Structure 1
Amino acid sequence: MQRTTLLKWVTGVAEGLLAIPIAGGAFVISTGWMALLVMFILHAITLVISIKDSKFSSGSIVGMIASFLGAIPILGWMLHTAAALVLLIDAGQETGKAKQKTNK
């Protein structure tokens, strides 16, 4: 598995956990909003690495926006959900393509 795909899986799952309505919000607040900063940094790293690997990811940009605006309750939930979906779908497609290459 390529590093870009792995980072998309990790950030996608993390965004999915933050998108859980009450639990995600409670986790963000309990960390003093540091969870949002960590996710912003992870998304930035994922974006830079995916650009280097020529696999641009719009999910990382949505994730960065979600991390920036995540303190706004309903908007943060919607953005975390959108980022998780985009990242997980993208990672799943890349994993599928990699499996097809190895089967040939």
Structure 2
Amino acid sequence: MPIRIIKWVSGGLEAFWGLPIIGGSLIVLLGWAPLLFMLILHIVGLIFSSKEGKAKTGHILGILASTLGFIPIVGMAFHILAAIFLLIEAARDQ
């Protein structure tokens, strides 16, 4: 059950960070701290997913989004992809 909550929360946050102009501007305004926070959240989620035998793709994409998020278009694309995968995985994990 905790991994499902982590996936819903991280998926929602990734969707927000992937918003053109708004997400990127807020990340820059906060001194890139959201990327570090999301990286930690995705690593924790990946550990829980591995232990529970759940899908890991969304968290792997999230880790890529957090590490490449400083590149404007690439970061946005990865945030959106991570959000899609995480929200689908959260809905499927029962």
TM-score band, normalised by shorter chain: over 0.9
In structure 1, C-alpha distance between the alignment counterparts of 2:56 and 2:9, rounded to whole Å: 14
After TM superposition, give the deviation of residue 57 of structure 1 in Å. Answer: 1.3
Structure 1 residues not aligned, in runs of 5+? 99-104
Q: Which residue of 2 aligns with 1:36?
A: 35
Q: CA RMSD in A?
A: 0.7
Matching of residues 1-104 of structure 1 within 5 Å: 2-94=1-93, 98=94
The aligned counterpart of 1:102 is: none
Take 1:26 and 1:19, find their aligned partners in 2: how far apart are those partners? 11
SS in 2 for 1:32: coil
* Pair member with larger Rg: 1
Q: Which has the higher contact order (CA 8 A, sep 6+)?
A: 2
Aligned partners of 2:34, 2:56: CA distance in 1, in Å? 21
The runs of 5 or more residues in structure 2 that have no matched partner are none
Render the CA deviation track for 1:70-93: whole Å, top value 9, x for unaligned. 000000010000000000011011
Identity of aligned residues (%): 41
Task: Provide runs of 4+ in structure 1 moved above 3 Å.
Answer: none
TM-score by length of 2: 0.97
Q: 2:43 and 2:66 mapped to 1: Cα distance?
A: 11
- C-alpha distance in structure 2 between counterparts of 1:75 and 1:64, whole Å: 13
Task: Tell me, in whole angstroms, the C-alpha distance in 2 between the residues paired with 1:73 and 1:19.
Answer: 10
SS state at 2:21 partner: helix
Q: Distance in 1 between matches of 2:17 and 2:88?
A: 17
Query: How far apart, CA to CA, are the structure 1 residues paired with 2:88 and 2:10?
Result: 12
